[in-house]
Structures are given as structure tokens and as C-alpha cells.
Structure 1
Amino acid sequence: MGRSIGGCWQGVVSTGVLYGSLALFTSVLHNVFLLYYVETFVSVYKIDKVSFWVGETVFLLWNSFNDPLFGWLSDRAFLSSAQTGSQVTSPEVVLKRLKALSANGPLLALSFLAFWVAWATPGLQFLVCLCLYDGFLTMVDLHHSALLADLAVSAADRTRLNFHCSVFSALGSLSVFLSYSFWDKEDFYAFRLFCLSLAAFSILGFFLISRLLRQRFEMDVRPRQDEALALKELSVGHAPLTCPERPLTIRQYLKQLSKHKNFMWFVSMNLIQVFHCHFNNNFFPLFLEHLLSDNISSSTGSILLGISYVAPHLNNLYFLSLCQRHGVYRVIRWLFMLKLGLSVAMLLAGADHVFLLCIFIASNRVFTEGTCKLLKLVISDLVDEDFVVNRRKQAASALLFGMVALVTKPGQTFAPLIGTWLLCAYTGYDIFLREPVKDTMGLDAAPGSGTPPLRLGCFHMLVFVPITCALLQLAAWSRFTLHGRKLQGIKSCRQGAQHGGLVDIKAV
């Protein structure tokens, strides 16, 4: 009965929709995590500054190194497949990734629940929860992102997959709207029940969708395994025609990667992008409180916050259509220029224009997050280039995504650390002490403006951070060459090399 129901669903729902729906079960959890984990430990659990900094520092190291570690553990079998004489096919790679998602997705949801109940001292719980949650998030994100490169090679097919991810991520962002109805620092019970409901929904979703996808690809893998077994029986007693190749070591892989110039320029740009995205996430409530709270209602602030989480995914649908017409490289460059232009315009307008501030705070996050959503397409192109240039037997998708994260994930930790330091140094406001520091480096408010130093300092942080990020990113992105004819040539080479092993996502 269960198999017939699964077969019915497989006939109705496309692989692209199933792949995209996996983003929903991560998004409903991760958006709530990003918005509330710092506030929970600072305001509810009353963590001290030293424990916060120690936790963030350890998290920085773990957050950076677990991506390449898990990527290597995942892909080393594919890189060494030539030694055994049995090249791993694309459907088998997809099946291995789906099995990893079905196991790690529910564990991610369980680790998410550990944040919202005090079960240890704040410092210890902060450290353990961050590392545990990020470990499972890394496994889910690595395998889900790697599937983008494993399921399809053409830009059109990858854009289609990313389109479904954006739609379901937008639906997942609705959890931010709902969370405001339950969030109460004084009474945490309702919020805990809300998080429990999100976790249960995510566990059920990961289990069902990964099972449907696995059944679909097992149907494609089984004939290949039977064919391989028949060939193996025919070759018994005969010497191998080719000498077995040595498996690739991590040292050799890192040496190859160090010569990959486009990879180097991309991670330089992406490090700044990760920093800016998490800076916006961490300080969005602070900007609302000190720049807009006196001029807008709390309900307006919650709507503005919710829109800023949903709009990037919906806006990304338009960005993806632009990518199909003009290419990912150009669209990302335009977004950097737009970020720079809007920030300069806001700086010239000043901090007293409330309506412009509302638009800028929301649009700054929308366009920054929109850029992040497109970067998976670029990493997938880097997977293709790595495959072609180094003549691999099978693309090391998860490993390359992990190496990107190794260099760029520190930006996630630098954002709250640098942000809180700048805020304290520039304005004298310490989020841990809740009291202004007497001797500060902050500038006085403009004469006659009536703008408090804290408000002026928040405004300068709001505009100068995106200006600096945009300038550095435009400089790095101008050196990236994997676009245009070069990208088309790389894709043609990979499609030719793996013509018999790729899965047609429209046919499956």
C-alpha cells in the first residue's frame, strides 16, 4: 500500500519540486534560529560577555572546518573510485546524498530544539548548541547544495532547480511572521511549543520527501547495478586492461584547488557576502529599535521584519529569470552596484527620513540575501570547471562546497563580533551591560540635528558596512573569469565526459 502511494506521488510530483521542497524544512528552522538565538542567550538566559565571545570563537573554528571535513568524508569515495575499477555513476551519487539527507535532516530539527530549553549553564549550552546545530546543518546544506551540481549540468536545469528552492524557501520564511505572535522574553512557554511544532513538521518533511526521492532514483540505479554485475562476471579470469590509479589525497586536492584562480577570487568575494548577510541578520532588530521604533508601531516593525525574510526568496525568482537572459555573473555584478548606489544615496539623505530608512533597511537585506541565493549556481559552475580542468572521474560537488565554506564561513562569526565591537567603540552602547560606556570613540550628534549619538552611530553602521562590502566585492568579482564563452566551453566538456551518467531531471 505504502509503495503504491509513493508511486502515485512520483507520477504527479516532479524531481525539481521534490528537491526544492527540502529547502522548506531547513528554512522554517534556520530563519527562526538566526533571528532569536542571540537574543535568547543574551536576554533570556543572561549569558556573560566572556562566555559569548568564547562560544563564538570556538564556533568560528568548528563552523569553518566541519564543511571541508564532511565534504571530504562524503566525496572521497568518488575521488578514489578509479582505484577499484568501478566508476560511480551520477544516480548512485544522488542516492548517497539522499540517504545522508534522510538521516541528518531529522537530527537537525532535534538539535534546533536544544536552544529553547535551559538545560545547562548559559555559556556551556551556547557552545554545545551552536556546534551541534551547525554540524547537522552543514551535513544537510552540503548534500542539498551538492545535489544542484549532481542533478544537472546545464544552466537552464540548474536555474529550474534553484527556482523551486526559492519558492519553498519563501514559504519557509513565513515562520518568521508566525514567530512574532509567540515570542515573549518574559514567558517562553508559547515560543517553545511553537519551535516544537516547527521541528516536528521538519522531521516529517525530511523523512517523506527524501524517501520519495530515494525510491525514484533507486529505480534508475538498479538497472545500472545489474549491468555492472553482468560485466563483472564476464571479466572473471581476465587481467585488467588498465593499471589502477592511486586515490586522490587531501593534500593533492588542496594543491589543485590552490591553482584554481576563479575559486580563489570567488571565495574572496563570498567571504564578504557571508559577513554582510549575517551582519544584517544579527543587527536588523537593533536597527529597527534605535532608528525606527519612535516613528513606527511594533506591528509595522514585525511586518517589515517578516517581509525582509520572505521577499529575498520571491525576488530571487525574478533574479533567476535575469540569470537565464544575461548570465549569473552579470546579475551578481548589477546587485553589487545596486547595493553601493542605494547605500550612498541613503548616506546623503541622512538619518531623519523615516520612510527612506524603512525602504533601505528592508531593501538592503533583500538584495544582499538575493545575491546569496544565486551563489550556489556559481559554485556549481566551479564544480564543473574543477571536474574538467583536473579530469576527474566524478565531480566532487560536496567537497568543493565544503572548501568554499571553509574560507567563507568565518564571516558568519565575524559579523556579530565585529558588529558589537563597532557599536560599543563608536557609540558606547554595550548590548551585554545595557549601560553606555562613558569614554567612547563615538562622534557627537550633528549640531542642531537632535539625533542621539546611539542613533547616529547605528545609522553610520547601517550605511558604511554595505558601502565597504560592495566596493571590495566589485574589485574581487572583476577578476572572476568563469562566465561567457569560457563557461559554455566548460559545460560542453563536462556534458561530453559524463553523457551516459547524468540524470535528466525533467524525465525522472
Structure 2
Amino acid sequence: MSGSNKSLQSRMLALAALNMGFGLISSAFSFYYIKVFLGVYHIEEKWFQIAQTLFMVWNAVNDPLFAYCQDSTNFKCTRTRRESVLYAAPLFAISFVIPWFPWGDTNTAQAWVTGIHLITALCFWDTMYTYVGLAACCLFAEISTDNAERLKMVRNNQIGFFIGSSSVFILQYMSNQLENFGAFQTTSIVIAIVSCLLMRYCGLNAHTEKELQDDHDMLNGKPKQLKSQQYSYITLTKQIFFNRDFLGFVIMNFFQEFHRAFLSNFFAIIGDQLISKEAITPFVRSVFYGAKSMLPNVLVIFGSSVVHKYGYFYVIRCAQVMKIMFGLIYFIIGPINHWFIMIFMLVDGCITDSVFSLFNLPLSDVADKDSVRYSRSNPVTSMVFGTNALVVKPAISLSPMLIVSILNRYGYDRLKDDTLSSDEVTTLSGVMFNLLCLFPFIIGSIQYCAWSLYTIRDKKHSDNIVIVES
């Protein structure tokens, strides 16, 4: 069969290329879209909340629908995981560019125009993000079922994502902190093109074990098996959802996404407010913002041996304890100086994003157990990842909706007009600092409890699964 070690390495390389292309645009999109629509387009809070609400609904609905489609249909763009990436890559790249080109003059455009722009940008982006993201997760789970190989893929993917996440630094540097918005727009187009080419490369080369087996069978005269499901969408969802391991994971993952959305969308906003521009030079600030996207990848790349030794369950649990401790300690100490604030923000961001990079491992194990439990002829990996997204994705909208509401209550919406008094500015800064500290403390505590429900502890090796019985 063609699934030799050399072939496996090339397939893993293709998946790393996908993660690099994915990282180029996803890191920049989550980092900039709120800052651009709030700070450059001056969107009204009413339209911002409407856009986030519609985005939240579509975000939750499209994942299981696309998942069922990818698992059960045989269209040209859904036949295999890699072909899903191949045909969706250009549209995904276009969806990244749309937010950075305003629909009319930002100073004279009516509020509803900017609101419709945000709604369109978010929904189109999430459609393509979901479609390509589901295929990417399934490629991770189906290129190899060996856990040692999956850990290698985690490391390789993080190398790709590490290179891709440099897009934040590149955009910060080229646009001079968004001061030169034309340069930002031009650079974003270049980044989108490079991302598309990388994803197309993956779409041509990332064959799964099942795809290779099907090709081998066809060479031997056996008919190719088309995808089909013996269960309906509702039944499949129930089978996946009412599973203790899955429930423990998705509750923990929901709050992880809630925290990540807070850090991704408000990192620069809070940093600009709490870290004085006089104390920190623009170049150092650009490096600081770029490091938030890149350091978590470095941590995963060099920390994969720790995951292999102790298992992902205990690594994730350790990270939860660290978030609780650091958040509480820094809240008690208070903002000492600008450098301490930067260090805390980087530590919190690194812990949150690096641990999130491991989440494909437990979810892949849940998918593996599901296939064995129900003796499925075709894996429903997309449905497992899609049902996870059904629960988790609303956090991406709920987090900014909550934070914008809190910040505007203390005058953030008037900050850009320079109408706040010095006392009001001080109060707003204090609220931002409290959010920065209390988020990891509260979320880490909830996650610690939810993660206790997960019983796979841990699949360190492909043939060694330890289950903790309740």
C-alpha cells in the first residue's frame, strides 16, 4: 500500500502547510477585526451587537451542518478531506480580505452600512473558516491514528502556525500600528494570496489513510465505497453529545474559546490603554503584539516531549491551575509597571493558546472511541468536531459582546473622541486590568471542574488508553 513512512511524512508536511496558511489569516483576522471596526470604521455599539448576535447564531448552526455534509456526501468538494480544502481555499482567502475595505467613506457612511459590512464579513469568514477548519481537524485525526504520529503532527502544525502567526507582526510593522491603513490593506492582500497557495498545496497532497486504502482497493479491482451514514443527523448528534468524555471536553473548550476570544480581540485594545506609548516604543510594541501570536507555537513545538511523557490530560490540567494562580496573584499585586503588565499578558496568552493547540488530541480520541463504540464503516470525525463547534463557537461572539458592553459602560466608546475626564480614563484602565486578571482566574476554575469529567487519561501511546471509571 502507498501509505509508507515517506508518504506519511509528505502528508504531514502538507497538513503543516495548511496550518501555516490557516495561521496567516486567522491570527490576523481575530487580532484586527474588532479594532478596525471600532477604531477605524467607528461602528455603533447597536450594530456591533446585532452583528455579533447574528454571527453567533450562524457560527453555531453551520458547523454541524457542514460536518454532516462532509461526512455523508460525495460532491466534488466533499469527496475527501483534502478536496474540501482544495476547492475552498480561494474563497477562504477572499473572506479574509473583505473586512479591510470599507463600504464607503468611514466618516460619512451611514451606521447601517458599516453594520451590514460587519455582518457580511463575519458570516462569510466563519462559513469558510468552518468549512476549511473542519476538514483540517479531520485530516489531523485521519492521516494517522497512532498517537505518537499525532504528536508529531501537533509539533509540525505548530511550526506552520508559528510561521503563519507572524502575519500580526508583519501587519503591525507595515501599517505602523494601523496608522497607515492603505499599507495594511495592501499587505493583507499579499498575505491572503500566500495563504491560498499553501492551502491549495495541502489540498493536493494531504491524503488520509482511508483515501489511500480506497485507492489501493480500486487498483485491485474493488469498487470504491461511497460515503453514507446508517444514522440520521439527529441520531448522530445524540450519540456524540451524550457522552461523558465529549461533555467534559466541550464544557472546558467553551470557556477556553471564551478566554481566547477575549485575548485575541482585546489584546491590542487593552495593551494600548494600559501600556503607555511614551514608555514603550512602537517597535517594541509591535514585537510584543507579534509575540502574543507566535510564542504559544514555540511553547508547543519544544514542549511536545512533555505532552508525550505525561499525557495531554495532565498538561491541560496543569495549565488550568497556572491560570487560576497567576490571575489571582496578579489581581492581588496590582499593576506594578508597564513591563509587568506586558509579561502577565504574554504569560496568560501563551498558556491559553498553547494548551488550545493540544485540543485536537482529546477530540480525536473521542472520535476514535465513537467509531469503535458504534462499529462505524465510515468515521464521523467531522460530526464529532462539528458538534463540538456547535457548543463552543457561540463563545467567540459572546465574549466580545460582553466585554464591549462592560467597556462602553465605563466610557470606552467616548475614549476615541477624547471626551473622558482623567478620572474616567483611570477608572476605565482599572476595569480593563480587572478583566485581564479575573478572566483567567474565573475561567480556569470552571475548566478545572469540567475537565474532571473527562475519563481518557491519557492515550500516551497508540495502544495504551487508560480510562478512569467514575
TM-score for both structures, normalised by structure 2: 0.87
Determine the structure 1 residue equivalent to 2:347. 363
Deviation track 1:32-90 (CA, whole Å, cap 9, x = no partner) reads: 11111112222222322211111111000111111111001111259xxxxxxxxxxxx
Q: How does 1:72-111 map to 2 (within 5 A)?
A: 72-77=68-73, 96-111=80-95
- How many Å separate the matches in 1 of 2:381 and 2:242? 18
Determine the structure 2 residue equivalent to 1:468. 442
- How many Å separate the matches in 1 of 2:300 and 2:128? 26
Helix, strand or coil at the partner of 1:479: coil
Q: How does 1:347-496 map to 2 (within 5 A)?
A: 347-425=331-409, 427-430=410-413, 434=417, 452-484=426-458
Helix, strand or coil at the partner of 1:303: helix
Helix, strand or coil at the partner of 2:222: helix
- How many Å separate the matches in 2 of 1:143 and 1:406? 16
| Residue 250 (str. 1) matches residue 233 (str. 2) | yes
Helix, strand or coil at the partner of 2:100: coil
Deviation track 1:309-361 (CA, whole Å, cap 9, x = no partner) reads: 10001101233221100111000000111111111221222112333222111
Over the residues paired in the alignment, what is the CA RMSD in angstroms?
A: 3.1
Select which of 311, 316, 327 maps to 1:327. 311
Q: How does 1:60-459 map to 2 (within 5 A)?
A: 60-77=56-73, 96-119=80-103, 121-183=113-175, 185=178, 187-213=180-206, 221-229=214-222, 247-293=230-276, 294-425=278-409, 427-430=410-413, 434=417, 452-459=426-433
Identity of aligned residues (%): 25
Bigger mean CA deviation after superposition, 182-191 or 113-122: 182-191
Deviation track 1:246-277 (CA, whole Å, cap 9, x = no partner) reads: 82101211221242111111111110000000
Structure-2 change in CA distance of 1:207 and 1:257 (3 Å): closer
How much does 1:94 deviate? Answer: 10
Deviation track 1:192-212 (CA, whole Å, cap 9, x = no partner) reads: 111111111122222233223
Deviation track 1:108-151 (CA, whole Å, cap 9, x = no partner) reads: 00121211222362111111111111101111110011111111
- How many Å separate the matches in 1 of 2:340 and 2:99? 36
The aligned amino acid for 1:192 is: Q
- How many Å separate the matches in 2 of 1:215 and 1:486? 22
- How many Å separate the matches in 2 of 1:296 and 1:437? 23
How much does 1:454 deviate? Answer: 1.9
- How many Å separate the matches in 1 of 2:268 and 2:414? 12
Aligned length: 448
How much does 1:373 deviate? Answer: 0.4
Bigger mean CA deviation after superposition, 60-69 or 313-322: 313-322
Structure-2 change in CA distance of 1:28 and 1:161 (3 Å): same
- How many Å separate the matches in 2 of 1:156 and 1:436? 57
Structure-2 change in CA distance of 1:257 and 1:231 (3 Å): closer
Bigger radius of gyration among the two: 1
- How many Å separate the matches in 1 of 2:119 and 2:165? 26
Helix, strand or coil at the partner of 1:355: helix
Unaligned runs of 5+ in 2: 1-5, 105-112
Q: How does 1:10-25 map to 2 (within 5 A)?
A: 14-25=10-21
CA contact (8 A) 1:60 1:410 kept: yes
